[in-house]
Amino acid sequence: MIAFLGTGLLGSAFVRAALGRGEKVHVWNRTLEKAAALGKDGAAVFPLVADAVRDAERVHLVLSDDAAVEAVLRQVLPVIGKHTVIVDHTTTSVKGVAERTANLAAIAVTYQHAPVFMSPQNALESTGVMLTSGAKEIHDRLEKALKPMTGKLVRFGDTPGRAAAMKLAGNLMLMAITTGLTDMAAFLKAVDVPRSEIHTLFEHFNPGASVVPRAKRMLSGEYEKPSWELQTARKDARLILSEAVEAQPALAMVPHYAEVMDQWISRGFAEHDWTVIGKDAL
């Protein structure tokens, strides 16, 4: 038997997928009504979290943040079996994961942080990406159970908080993409181009294809042979800003980028590849 604690959109999808694989599943949620619907799908629903985890082989946490994880752990640790494994899918802080892993190991509790890049639909279909880091022995022990939950299981080494860091870094990129799309829409509106044309552009131009080569260029430190000069990128930013004076909402990202590029141009890097703006972060 396994238990899922936290039955929001992602947690509920995980539960339904587990039931579809023939697992016996106990569930608990702070708001009982959110868990109740899973009873109709075959899960055993418990109003008390301690009752949900008794005799569980694994306890999966799909909660909101570090504070929620700590609060739930305080309630379940006194009642779980000595061989129960806690698998935490919650997006939490790097420091929190490192401290929890050490604190739980000190009392002989096996804890694996396994955050995900998965929508509820991914969780239901067992697609997407699940990350782990920490002791390889724990990863190997759980691999057979975790792989059916996801399309790809990726381990990021022995440092317990590394998976948390990579999850937050990935979310940072997603936030940048969404903010960029917002700026695109505001810019096109300002120049009287229908925002629906974003779809047309992406039918022919895939900016995502440049992420890996651009990251390699940035990490290489080889900025002297540019594919896009910093001064040219700054010129394009100037054009965007001058065209979008009346943009509503105001552009969020481009003014910041322009300021950063100006700083690097003043340092003498105008003719370098514009990825040089990441030099100080490396």
Residues in the chain: 282
Residue 282 has pLDDT above 90, yes or no: no
Examine the domain organization and report whether 131 and 270 are in the same domain. Answer: no
Q: Is residue 172 part of a domain?
A: no
222: buried, middle or exposed (CB in 10 Å: 19+, 13-18, 0-12)? middle
pLDDT digits (tens, 9 = 90+) for 140-192: 999 999 999 999 999 999 999 999 999 999 999 999 999 999 999 999 999 99
Give the count of domains, the chain: 2
Examine the domain organization and report whether 30 and 151 are in the same domain. Answer: yes
172 three-class SS: helix
Q: Which of 139, 160, 181 is the last residue of a domain?
A: 160
* CATH assignment at residue 263: 1.10.1040.10
CA angle 16, 19, 22 (to 5 degrees): 155
- In this prediction, residue 237 carries a pLDDT of 97
Q: Is residue 212 part of a domain?
A: yes
Domain with 216, as residue range(s), is 189-281
Examine the domain organization and report whether 196 and 260 are in the same domain. Answer: yes
Prediction pTM value: 0.93
Examine the domain organization and report whether 194 and 104 are in the same domain. Answer: no
Examine the domain organization and report whether 100 and 40 are in the same domain. Answer: yes
* CATH assignment at residue 96: 3.40.50.720
Exposure string of 202-214, with b = 16+ CB inside 10 Å and e = fewer, is eeeeeeeeeeeeb
pLDDT bracket for residue 34 (50, 70, 90): confident
What is the C-alpha separation between 24 and 266, in angstroms, rounded?
63
* Residue 110 near residue 92 (C-beta atoms within 8 A): no
Q: Which of 160, 181, 200 is the last residue of a domain?
A: 160
Examine the domain organization and report whether 64 and 201 are in the same domain. Answer: no
pLDDT digits (tens, 9 = 90+) for 217-276: 999 989 999 999 999 999 999 999 999 988 888 999 999 999 999 999 999 999 999 999
Q: Is residue 175 part of a domain?
A: no
Reference 88, options 153, 132, 148; nearest CA is: 132
Q: Which residue in the block uniquely carries the two structure tokens 């800003």?
A: 241
CA angle 157, 163, 169 (to 5 degrees): 125
- In this prediction, residue 33 carries a pLDDT of 87
Residue 7 has pLDDT above 90, yes or no: yes
173: buried, middle or exposed (CB in 10 Å: 19+, 13-18, 0-12)? exposed
Q: Is residue 173 part of a domain?
A: no
pLDDT digits (tens, 9 = 90+) for 59-99: 999 999 999 999 999 999 999 999 999 999 999 999 999 99
- In this prediction, residue 137 carries a pLDDT of 97
